[in-house]
Amino acid sequence: MKERRAVVVVLDGVGAGEAPDAAAFGDEGANTLANTAAAVGGLELPNLQRLGLGNILRLEGVPPTRSPAASWGLMTERSAAKATLAGHWEMMGLVLEEPLPTYPEGFPEEIISRFERETGRRVIGNRPASGTQIIEELGPEQERTGAWIVYTSADSVFQVAAHTGIIPLQELYDACEKAHRMLIGEGKILVERVIARPYHGEPGSYERENENRHDYGIEPFGETYLDRVERAGMEVVAVGKVHDIFDGRGITRHLPGKPDDAAKLDAALEALGSMKSGLVFANLVDFDAKYGHRRDPEGMAQNLERFDGRLPELLGALGEEDLLIVTADHGNDPTFRGTDHTRERVPLLSVGGGEPRPLGIRETFADVGATAAAWLGADRGGLPGESWI
């Protein structure tokens, strides 16, 4: 094989219209891209338009182009979840056939009591909530009492928020490691992830420290395309929270890319500047964390336009033997009711590997990993997904 590189960029939460099973998730009508565009009177994404984003779906301000510079299509998730972990795992060949436990009424008393005993602090909250909202609501009480703010969402997550002026960051991490052992590490998987959510500031102006967020997830239950690429002797560089999502499995280098999506793109470019062959797998989380969950279509639109403005740099860093895949892991429609992810198909743009062509609707996210592995010459046997190369 020639020295080749594959780059997968995940626009976290940027869905492209309701999935066939959206009704089962209560998400009929969700469309992150189209509804964002409509809410702001149209998007200005000239570089994504040239690649063919407007050929994937009807998008105000982004018309289709006659000769897209990328192959284009949609992907449908097979996993029984609309979560970040499920989406990323499926891209790399692991499909969650059964949904992980969720806690719409909060966590059982025995879990909360044990967490309090093991950490030496009591718990407040313990219900599904938006992270920013529950921090604003319960932050003053945490400042007075030193209690943990524990909350969950529609996903299978145990989230612990702590004001770093009251509870040191390392104590928060230690507590989340204890929760991880309780909920994941004792032979029974009770949540998909434990998430440390530090924040600072004053009542009415609290600010989450996204650069210090840390996820403690379940270990992949089987081999992934990341493992296959690593075994083939190539680098696998994880940018952003990809390392945490896979618990470090199949990853040779981790670039956190803190504190924002711009820094994560810088990290991806840094990786391309130093590696001869292998895979760069980058997650741009701001779309989801800062704008989708906060139901901020203006912020979502602005972040899309910022990403569009950086695309020429990313494309310019590619060589003739490189492949770029831009996609998403789920939806998070900022115009939709609630604050949770939305069950959507996701956009797919692929640069390199032949003449641009329509890719249709792919039946699984695993086609991403299959295509990257095929391009890099790694073994694909036994894992789901079909290469479009």
- 200: annotated binding-site residue? no
- 21: annotated binding-site residue? no
Residue carrying structure tokens 């008393």: 109
Q: How far is CA 50 from CA 55, 126, 230, in A?
A: 10, 46, 33
Task: Give helix 109-119 / helix 169-183 axis angle, nearest 10°.
Answer: 140
- 308: annotated binding-site residue? no
Q: Rounded to the nearest 10 degrees, how much is the dihedral formed by the CA atoms of 76, 17, 341, 362?
A: 10
- HSE-CB for 195 with a 13 A CA cutoff: 26
Residue carrying structure tokens 């929270």: 241
Q: d(Cα 99, Cα 387) in Å, to the nearest integer?
A: 26
Q: d(Cα 122, Cα 110) in Å, to the nearest integer?
A: 13
Q: b or e along 32-42 (b: 16 or more beta carbons within 10 Å of the residue's beta carbon)?
A: bbbbbbbbbee
- Fill in the DSSP letter of residue 331: B
Q: How far is CA 35 from CA 13, 32, 41, 42, 81, in A?
A: 13, 6, 10, 10, 22
Q: Rounded to the nearest 10 degrees, how much is the dihedral formed by the CA atoms of 196, 325, 305, 266?
A: 60
Radius of gyration of the chain (CA): 20
- 214: annotated binding-site residue? no
Work out whether the CA dihedral 200, 201, 203, 207 comes out positive or negative: negative
Q: d(Cα 369, Cα 389) in Å, to the nearest integer?
A: 12
- 293: annotated binding-site residue? yes
- 247: annotated binding-site residue? no
Residues forming the annotated binding site for Mn(2+)? 12, 288, 293, 329-330, 341
Task: Summarize the annotated binding site as residue ranges.
Answer: 12, 288, 293, 329-330, 341
